[in-house]
Structure 1
Amino acid sequence: MFNKKILAYLRFLPVQLFFGLLLCTWIPYLFFDWDYLTQGFDKASTFNILISATLTLLTLFTLNLIRQFPGINSTSYILPVFLFWFIIIFALAELTHFPFSFIYYCLSSVCLLSYLFIVNIINRRYEVQTLAYIPVGRALNMPEQVPSADWLKLDTTNLDQYVNGIVTDLHSYDLTADWQEFIANKTLQGIPVYHHRNIRESLTGRVRINHMYENELGSLLPCENYMLIKYCLDILIILLLLPFTLIIFLLTAIAIKREDGGKVFYVQSRVGYRGEIIKVYKFRSMREASKEVLTVDNDDRITKVGKFIRKTRVDELPQFLNVIKGEMSLIGPRAEFIDFAVKLEQQVPFFNYRHIVKPGISGWAQVNQGYATGAEETQLKIEYDFYYIKHISFTLDLLIFFRTIHTTLTGFGAR
């Protein structure tokens, strides 16, 4: 019983941080150096502990922030997040000439990586939620709409098992006085009660829009201060990646030119920030045609080189120029073709609202769904875009950044 309680407490970030710092700073010394027991910590030992503790804190904090967003399989983020902070901290330590031991740093990192997978197993045990729902109004079909949770249908006001929360349509006229009393009693007992729209949004990562007032999107303008910080971060990341991207640019240009001798770059007119028309730059991945049409699965216009660069998203790299010009961001809703955008304005409610932020090279819809072509897929994409606009933050952008790395490696959603 004691062991089970300890494991349950490991769900909480402060406990994870305590054990993480203890294990990842102390255990390496068992294999590395025992002199500190008699002589105390010297300057090098202090720096060893400092960089190890920094790596542990930043990695655990980042993974904890990522887990808060819906539809996240945290297992796939452990390695990229760990490697990201491992490289950043090591580079900073080298640049500042800290007297630290690389062997100790590696031993500590192995301990941390092992610890992260153990914590992840414990977290996943508690990730699936059991939710009871009152089948009235728009909450009638919650199990079909949100299959990621375990659902318990309430036909009566008797609830004799543990649930993580109760879901219903709080605006429904079918919510009788008995149900309202039931909700009040369960709230007093500490069981949270959710409106169907809020729980659907938090578990699917999408915002469904039928009426503007439902989510008050008209009043949700992105914070101007964060948008300025976001632009500065975009420029900083592009500059840091420049030595690597220049090599990729050169190799890609040579490959495209050698394959068919055509143009290396392709310029497309797209709808950008606040509906303005922008010229988007891409590596040419298809045979040139007289008219722009949407790409479909197994499109025979795609070249051999084009198939590879589209799968790995290398064809998007020239859009760094659009980002530098301030027309786009690294993260944001996808910029649409003009003709396609005009059609969507007529078919999808409040489609234009997605232009309230700059379009991005990658985005919440792209990493969750991939490219969309039909009206039904596009409707889902818009719901993902609205979720991003509603919850835009550094944390969400960081999640999309790591998820973009994952989709780049796997080729998810490429056409």
Structure 2
Amino acid sequence: MLCKWEALPEFMRTEEVRPYYQALYRRRAGLAVKRTFDFAASSVLLALLAPLFLFLAVLVKLDSEGPAFYRQERVTQYGRRFYIYKFRTMAENADRKGSLVTVGDDARITRVGRKLRGCRLDEIPQLINIWKGEMTFVGTRPEVAGYVRAYTKEMYATLLLPAGVTSEASIRFKDEALRMEKACSAGANIDETYIRTVLPEKMKWNLREMGKFSLGREMRTLVKTMYGVLLP
């Protein structure tokens, strides 16, 4: 749900954020339906996919040392910190051994991890985050705190709603790993390149969708995401 303007964190109460807040405030009923859908759908999917969870967890454990699940601190609605859940697709402690951005041929990715990433199965545990209210099915992908600190004042508007599993930006930047791989091969710093070139372009789409929020648009994004996963 959307809190009152006065209750927003101070860093979000700016003139750059206000138009997006007002647009969402007019659609409070739709936001309530959105959360109801998130909770109901994630509850059903968690129950139905429990056998798949177990199977994939065993595969990850057998493939390499380390836990089956990976947790990383990210930023969601109103700047709150939370731990995002994924199946581990990289070597244990990989985030301490390189960039926070993963390129296509990253040596830290495990054999099973590469297959999980290819069909997006590593993202399934985020149903837990949706069920808890930390995430939503459609919304701006959650970033680590270091990248959030690079946000412009307008970009903070994306924190008015919970972070999402998919979005129009995610669909249009599905080749993000390839883009970053090319930047890496050119000798550029991956994190700086992401902040300077990729992040602003993704945010343009995130802000555009937030300003035009509707349940119909979100359903279309979900359908496009499923189509993209099944028929890449």
Normalising by the residue count of structure 2, what TM-score does the alignment of the two structures yield?
0.77
The match for 1:298 among 98, 105, 114 is 105
Q: Does 1:398 align with 2:214?
A: no
Q: Distance in 1 between matches of 2:175 and 2:145?
A: 16
Which structure carries more relative contact order (alpha carbon 8 Å, separation 6+)? 2
Q: What SS does the aligned partner of 1:237 have?
A: helix
Point out where structure 1 has 5 or more consecutive residues left out of the alignment: 1-210
Q: Find the counterpart in structure 2 of residue 311 from structure 1.
A: 118
Q: Does 1:333 align with 2:140?
A: yes
Q: Find the counterpart in structure 2 of residue 220 from structure 1.
A: 23
- Percent of residue pairs bearing the same amino acid type: 25
Amino acid at match of 2:79: G
Q: Does 1:364 align with 2:168?
A: yes
Change (3 A) 1:212 1:238: closer
Point out where structure 2 has 5 or more consecutive residues left out of the alignment: 1-14, 181-193
Amino acid at match of 1:337: V
Q: CA deviation at 1:218?
A: 5.1
Q: Distance in 2 between matches of 1:274 and 1:308?
A: 34
Change (3 A) 1:216 1:238: closer
Amino acid at match of 2:115: F
Q: CA deviation at 1:226?
A: 1.5
Q: Distance in 1 between matches of 2:69 and 2:87?
A: 5
Amino acid at match of 1:258: L
Work out whether residues 65 and 91 of structure 2, in 8 Å CA contact, stay in contact via their aligned partners in 1. no
Change (3 A) 1:371 1:335: farther
Work out whether residues 212 and 218 of structure 1, in 8 Å CA contact, stay in contact via their aligned partners in 2. no
Q: Distance in 2 between matches of 1:294 and 1:288?
A: 16
The match for 2:200 among 379, 389, 392 is 379
How many residue pairs get aligned? The number is 197
The match for 1:250 among 54, 58, 62 is 54
Q: CA deviation at 1:304?
A: 1.2
Q: Distance in 2 between matches of 1:256 and 1:230?
A: 33
Normalising by the residue count of structure 1, what TM-score does the alignment of the two structures yield?
0.44
Q: CA deviation at 1:241?
A: 2.7
Work out whether residues 155 and 207 of structure 2, in 8 Å CA contact, stay in contact via their aligned partners in 1. no
Amino acid at match of 1:302: I
